[in-house]
Structure 1
Amino acid sequence: MKLHINNETSRLKAVVLGTAESVGGIPNISEAYDPKSIEHIKMGTYPKEEDMIREVESVADVLKKHDVEVYRPKLIKNYNQIFTRDIAFVIEDKFIMANILPDREQEIEAISHVINQIPSENVIELPENAHIEGGDVMPFGDYILVGTYTKEDYKSFITARTNKEAVQALKDLFPQKKVVPFNLKKSNVEPRDNALHLDCCFQPVGKDKAIIYKGGFLDEKEYEWLVKLFGKENMFEITRDEMYNMFSNVFSISEDVVISERNFKRLNNWLRDNNIAVEEVPYAEIAKQEGLLRCSTLPLIRE
């Protein structure tokens, strides 16, 4: 398999889509990795497996409709395998395995049938001290945009997933690229004030547009840098509640087609106004775990 990913929006040819089968029921609060899941566990509104299966398979149907080759993880019984973006990501022709929470290492083994098709020299394991998840990494032409958290209290946040050592590792791996880090706001207790990954508060769409939430960035100058890069007129600014509902976590099949949650009316209308077709799917149950469409997909090949 010849991998090729240079951005978020070129025509998608192959992707790994997560699965919601046999997710293992409602976790204990001690087993939850983010404040939104904890909130729904406490309220008794944590999503049911059958609803999540229906939602993920609706995405599989859209991808197949657009002639995308869809790979799925091997099933691990009683285990959540929805969010494939967490476990790895592709830049250029390199498949980079994320140094993720230790409990989740078996998720990588579950996609070994995909990894085995990639030349071994292009499968990269980062140094052990470089913590990273794919939701924080966005290839954008000459840039690699990276969500991170660099304060001294990094270890106290279950929601801090990508550290400065990982940013440096990407700089070493891709010296020809400009690796740009963004410090994200973190909270273990309030999901409305927690940007779990960069794609929870920012994502490019179309040819030159982007979705962004200012409140997700700790440093306003870093937010302003992105606004300048795209142009204010090309930015769709989302609110705190829209960030909580994961408005920036849509997924592009191409510059002209985006998969989005069907309830994102304001965003979906804006996309259509900008000549981007919207494939609406139900994904509100999966959103209760602080992840949405980009989190569930691991693109392998784009044109």
Structure 2
Amino acid sequence: MNQALNITSEIGSLKRVLLRRPGKEVENLIPSTMEELLFDDIPYLPIIQEEHDAFATVLRDNGAEVVYLENLLTETLKEEKVKDQLISQLIKESGIHVDEAIQAVSEYFYSMTDREMVDKMMAGVRMDELSINSTSLSWLTDDESKSLFLMDPMPNLYYTRDIASVLGEGISINQMTYPARKRESLFMETIVKHHPNFKQSDIKVWRDRYSQTSIEGGDILVLNDEALAIGVSQRTSGRAIEEMARSLFSKNSTFKKVVAIEIPRVRAMMHLDTVFTMVDHDAFTIHPEIQDINKQMSIYVLEPSSVEGELNVSHHSDLGKVLKDTLKHGEINLIPCGDGDPIAAPREQWNDGSNTLAIKPGVVVTYNRNFVSNELLRENGIKVIEIPSSELSRGRGGPRCMSMPLLRDSL
């Protein structure tokens, strides 16, 4: 691995990308925990793995090096002190506080190979895998000892987009919104700090996972080397966006503008990239429901102020004009999900019709089930590569959600 990280656009040719192949954590979903763990259904593991492998094959066939979160994390644990720190922090963040339980989980992890331990951390630790005898009142009376899991599974991990965001030659390691996902970015923090391919690269961390406000990678689009678009959404707050802007502007990044786009704070549109993605130099997919009948939206442009630490914030309502001014293009083509049809648009948006992954300018990976949106993209000159999606789509995330680009060619 030469240059570790560099992302200055959404559409530059994809050279390296981080994935997580769905594992046992998906099978550890049950109906009573689906809502808490942010799922609407339970995928069938053998098929979701087949579909994910097909996705990885498409990326490789189109020139991208695919690296896996689970492999990088395993490679990071060669130093015993790094393993000690990860085990200790994960136990703490999993809410395990009774001494006997902490000892039992620690001993369980240390009894495994590094790869077995990584898989188990992600899959979760069932209560019946351990024998814990404690006279602690909290253990005897609290929910901790009555749950099926002492350490909850992380079924959302195959959505690697959210846990961290490469912005230029730096990275944001994200503070996630919901408890079900907060621990996930610990893995990326460990990799960036300690993996030999990353720790030697002097990577700038624009924002770390200990920030008080939440921001998730699905809300962040790199428009070009000077501008980001970030969704004000169910999972990313306006305050977090201000903090990100201040960090980027003050730490000598190349970014000079942040376009904050308000979207409905509902599960169906949990991130900006579920309703809006970039597919070419001047073209985007968009879900019609984020605009009203007059195409009005709430858009805020954040730029550096002449006063140190302050921001200039301006309000706009015309997304096309803001993008035109930001990208310095003559016209912007906003391609509606489901062709704007009142039935096809919400159906295909629910199944990630707007969640495209550009692998080079004008070439995108999409789910095959979104046939109306895919055909419209082709009619607009976009090459569409479809992947199977019967099980992948059950988690409410598409090709962009499932990928964390680490390196793209500059435009």
Asked if TM exceeds 0.5, the reply is: yes
Q: TM-score, normalised by structure 1?
A: 0.83
CA contact (8 A) 1:147 1:197 kept: yes
Q: What is aligned with 1:143?
A: 227
Q: What is aligned with 2:336?
A: 237
Deviation at 1:130, TM superposition (A): 2.1
Q: What is aligned with 2:263?
A: 184
Q: 2:12, 2:265 → 1: CA distance?
A: 30
CA contact (8 A) 2:36 2:180 kept: no
> Which blocks of at least 5 consecutive residues in structure 2 are unaligned?
71-117, 124-153, 250-254, 300-316, 325-329, 338-344
Q: 1:29 to 1:139 in 2, by over 3 A?
A: farther
Q: 1:102 to 1:122 in 2, by over 3 A?
A: farther
Query: How many percent identity over aligned positions?
Result: 26
- Which 10-residue stretch deviates more, 274-283 or 231-240? 231-240
Q: 2:166, 2:32 → 1: CA distance?
A: 32
CA contact (8 A) 2:282 2:332 kept: no
What code does the residue aligned with 1:104 have? R
What code does the residue aligned with 1:236 have? I
1:5 matched to 2:33? The reply is no
CA contact (8 A) 2:10 2:223 kept: yes
Q: 1:243 to 1:207 in 2, by over 3 A?
A: same
Deviation at 1:161, TM superposition (A): 1.0
Q: 1:285, 1:24 → 2: CA distance?
A: 11
Q: Tell me the SS of whatever aligns to 1:221.
A: coil
Q: 1:33, 1:291 → 2: CA distance?
A: 17
Aligned mate of 2:171, from 95, 120, 137: 95
Q: 1:76 to 1:177 in 2, by over 3 A?
A: farther
Q: What is aligned with 2:216?
A: 133
Deviation at 1:102, TM superposition (A): 4.2
CA contact (8 A) 1:23 1:49 kept: no
Aligned mate of 2:362, from 238, 244, 256: 256
Q: Tell me the SS of whatever aligns to 1:235.
A: strand
Q: 1:148 to 1:105 in 2, by over 3 A?
A: same
Q: TM-score, normalised by structure 2?
A: 0.63
How many pairs were matched up? 281
CA contact (8 A) 1:259 1:280 kept: yes
Q: 1:86 to 1:170 in 2, by over 3 A?
A: same
- Which 10-residue stretch deviates more, 73-82 or 140-149? 73-82
CA contact (8 A) 1:129 1:165 kept: no
For 1:29-83, what per-residue CA distance to the aligned partner results, in whole angstroms no more than 9, with x for missing partners?
4453587x33x3xxxxx32111211111111101111121111011533242211
Q: 1:242, 1:34 → 2: CA distance?
A: 23
Q: 2:264, 2:232 → 1: CA distance?
A: 9
Aligned mate of 2:281, from 207, 211, 219: 207
Q: 1:217 to 1:87 in 2, by over 3 A?
A: farther
Aligned mate of 2:396, from 261, 274, 290: 290
Taking CA–CA contacts closer than 8 Å with sequence separation of 6 or more, which of the two structures ends up with the larger relative contact order? 1
Aligned mate of 1:168, from 242, 251, 254: 242
Aligned mate of 1:108, from 185, 195, 199: 185
Deviation at 1:11, TM superposition (A): 0.5
1:15 matched to 2:28? The reply is no
1:83 matched to 2:159? The reply is yes
Aligned mate of 1:247, from 345, 348, 353: 353
Q: Tell me the SS of whatever aligns to 2:158.
A: coil
- Which 10-residue stretch deviates more, 129-138 or 111-120? 111-120
Higher helix share: 2
Q: Tell me the SS of whatever aligns to 2:258.
A: strand
For 1:3-47, what per-residue CA distance to the aligned partner results, in whole angstroms no more than 9, with x for missing partners?
211221111111101211222423444453587x33x3xxxxx32
For 1:145-180, what per-residue CA distance to the aligned partner results, in whole angstroms no more than 9, with x for missing partners?
11114xxxxxxxxxx211122101121122242112
- Which 10-residue stretch deviates more, 62-71 or 107-116? 107-116
Q: Tell me the SS of whatever aligns to 2:348.
A: helix
> Which blocks of at least 5 consecutive residues in structure 1 are unaligned?
41-45, 150-159
CA contact (8 A) 1:34 1:289 kept: no
Q: 2:179, 2:12 → 1: CA distance?
A: 33
Q: 2:391, 2:239 → 1: CA distance?
A: 34
CA RMSD of aligned residues (A): 2.5
Deviation at 1:233, TM superposition (A): 6.7
Q: Tell me the SS of whatever aligns to 1:220.
A: coil
For 1:126-155, what per-residue CA distance to the aligned partner results, in whole angstroms no more than 9, with x for missing partners?
352120100001110232111114xxxxxx
CA contact (8 A) 1:15 1:68 kept: yes
Q: What is aligned with 2:318?
A: 225
Please identify the structure whose Cα radius of gyration is greater: 2
